[in-house]
Amino acid sequence: MKYSVFLLCFSCLILLGTFAQSVTEAEILETCPNCGDYEYVKVRVTCDRATLTDGEGKIQLSKGLIIVTKNSTAFLRKFGFYPDVEAQKVNRRFMLSNQGEEILLLCNGSVEDKFAYGKYGQGITSYTDRNLIYFRNEGIWDFRYADWTNFTPVSDEVKGKIVIFPNDLKIDAEESVVLVSYILTNGLNLKELARNGVRVEIYLDSSPVGGIPVEEAELVKELKPFAEIHFLSSDSYKNFHYKFAVIDGKKVIITTENWKTSNRGYMIELESEKIASFLLDVIGHDRRYSSSPSKISELRGFKKSVIPAPSMKFEGGVEVFILPDSNPTFDLISSSKRELLIEVPYMDLTWFGTDELLYLIESACKNNSKVRILLDSRHSKEKNEKLIEFLNQLAKEKGYNLEAKLIALKGFESLHGKMIYSDGRCMITSANFNEYGFKLNREVGVIIESKEACEFLKKQFYEDWKDRFELADFPESLPQNLPKNLPKIHSPFDFSIATFILMTIAIYTRK
């Protein structure tokens, strides 16, 4: 008995010793290497003799949470408090490279932790820019810009409405409208509202890709006497790509569309003072980025669809989030275990030089989820076709229940909406599925918990999944007196003269 107790105690001591050895005695937590005079490194130290080095200069550190900066005064002006060590007073050779290098943290002469970035980094740490802060997030390296916000997602139980575009869109307001968009080529009824005494504020991206559309420039001239208009620009946010509106301080519209109603897209209307206040706080912060509009581009074109899509009212929980502050998209995709539906204009499978987005989709496949991906067949068509071929081949090789295809343009110009359905939950967002949408742009999104609303979106996805025509209804044999030299039908997505003639013949022969 005594021998058994001795063995138990001895085993516990070994385990405690092993645990003690596995605890990190020093760790690099955060660094901003390209931040001018306030560049810094933040570390945690518990060992007796710690050294921070970039391979050239060395800084001796005491125990505790330590911030080493280039210039203490510049750091104070930026963050409002003094750092612990001013490198230029201790060792001027310690100066972080803007292009990238490796930072080492030593304990008692041995390397305890290291961090490589820029040309020496991998994946997300290979990305470099001015005022970019690398930081550990639950043990994994990530980055943010020094002036990025940290807005926490807001949830509420709401009464709402899901609208699928193409559809009619009119804003009803009594006191105020704050409308936010990447570009704006549709004036809606904003001038009419302003003339009726409604205060109208508009926020637009100052430099969208390709320049500001001519239609927007003319619209802004038309609305300027009636509305307060801001163009937003920042070195930290590549584009202000979000699209939402707050009406009378209590109603909210979140949409995938730039207030254009002729594409396949999605919109949610809801009543929530809590969410309205949240979005007003966001745009209140972003107003500081007001600037002058950039160059004017060519006409984008606008037409109204004649085939309206459905809409539905619902009650249930929603969670509204702002990117890049929060991004539930990755978890929504990778955690799917039954059915994952993704409908987006295009998709990049890479993530800062890695295949992270492909890994997320494969995670769902490995969970035995049924995965369907629908991409636009008008814009980025060649790129989308290559992606579809790759995913379908991958499914064949690995036995995944995965299929991807182009959308058939049935009564709308193109697929512009971004929607995910995952195991009964769904999401609509302004963010494109790439590094810009998920990380570098200002975006908005909403997770919908209502079963009825998500089933409605799921049903619409499968309607969009269908091809344009059902050729099976054609007769087995056609009449002998067919017109000669019929134009060739190139794809099931083309509605050509030949398609019309064949359909007419089919209907005629069945009578």
Query: What pLDDT digit, counting tens, does each position of 227-260 carry?
Result: 999 999 999 999 999 999 999 999 999 999 999 9
Let me know if residue 13 belongs to a domain: no
Let me know if residue 3 belongs to a domain: no
Residue 182 has pLDDT above 50, yes or no: yes
Residue 83 has pLDDT above 60, yes or no: yes
Q: Which of 113, 145, 177 represents a domain boundary (last residue)?
A: 145
Helix axes 356-366, 381-398, angle to 10 degrees: 40
Same domain, 451 and 373: yes
What is the average per-residue pLDDT within 365-389?
Answer: 96
Strands 64-69 and 85-86: parallel
- In which band, very low, low, confident or very high, does the pLDDT at 440 lie, cut at 50, 70 and 90? very high
- Percent of the chain at pLDDT > 90 equals 82
Same domain, 200 and 336: no
What are the residue ranges of helices labelled H in 52-172?
A: 72-79, 87-90
Q: What is 202-258 written as a DSSP string?
A: EEEESS-TT-B-HHHHHHHHHHTTTSEEEEE--SSSS-B---EEEETTTEEEEESSS
Let me know if residue 498 belongs to a domain: yes
The parent domain of residue 326 ranges over 321-465
Same domain, 247 and 382: no
Let me know if residue 86 belongs to a domain: yes
Same domain, 418 and 478: no
Tokens of 489: 């039908």
- In which band, very low, low, confident or very high, does the pLDDT at 485 lie, cut at 50, 70 and 90? very low
Query: What pLDDT digit, counting tens, does each position of 132-147 carry?
Result: 999 999 889 999 999 9
Q: Which of 88, 115, 145 represents a domain boundary (last residue)?
A: 145
Provide the pLDDT for residue 5. 44
Structural domains counted in the chain: 4
Let me know if residue 299 belongs to a domain: no
Residue 304 has pLDDT above 70, yes or no: no
- Which pTM was predicted? 0.85
Query: What pLDDT digit, counting tens, does each position of 167-176 carry?
Result: 999 999 999 9
Residue 472 has pLDDT above 90, yes or no: no
3-class DSSP state of 53: strand
Query: What pLDDT digit, counting tens, does each position of 413-430 carry?
Result: 999 999 999 999 999 999
Same domain, 479 and 502: yes
Same domain, 189 and 116: no
Tokens of 318: 């929603």
Residue 10 has pLDDT above 70, yes or no: no
Let me know if residue 311 belongs to a domain: no
What is the average per-residue pLDDT within 198-221?
Answer: 96
Same domain, 268 and 345: no
Query: What pLDDT digit, counting tens, does each position of 233-242 carry?
Result: 999 999 999 9
Same domain, 437 and 496: no
Residue 330 has pLDDT above 60, yes or no: yes
- Write the CATH number for 369: 3.30.870.10
Let me know if residue 310 belongs to a domain: no
d(CA 322, CA 237): 13
- In which band, very low, low, confident or very high, does the pLDDT at 411 lie, cut at 50, 70 and 90? confident
Same domain, 113 and 179: no
Tokens of 66: 């330590």
Residue 40 has pLDDT above 50, yes or no: yes
Number of neighbouring beta carbons within 10 Å of residue 261? 23
Same domain, 227 and 123: no
Provide the pLDDT for residue 326. 96
What is the average per-residue pLDDT within 379-396?
Answer: 96
Q: Which of 145, 168, 202 represents a domain boundary (last residue)?
A: 145
Let me know if residue 252 belongs to a domain: yes
Closest CA to 253 of 274, 265, 267: 267
Provide the pLDDT for residue 489. 35
Same domain, 381 and 420: yes
Amino acid identity, position 160: G
Q: Which of 3-17, 187-201, 256-270, 413-427 has the lowest mean pLDDT?
A: 3-17
Closest CA to 346 of 298, 322, 295, 380: 380
Same domain, 164 and 244: yes
Report whether 398 contacts 390 (CB < 8 A).
no
d(CA 405, CA 412): 17
Outline where DSSP puts E strands in 11-167: 26-32, 40-45, 50-53, 58-61, 64-69, 85-86, 102-107, 110-116, 132-137, 140-145, 154-165
- Percent of the chain at pLDDT > 70 equals 85
Closest CA to 30 of 22, 21, 39: 39
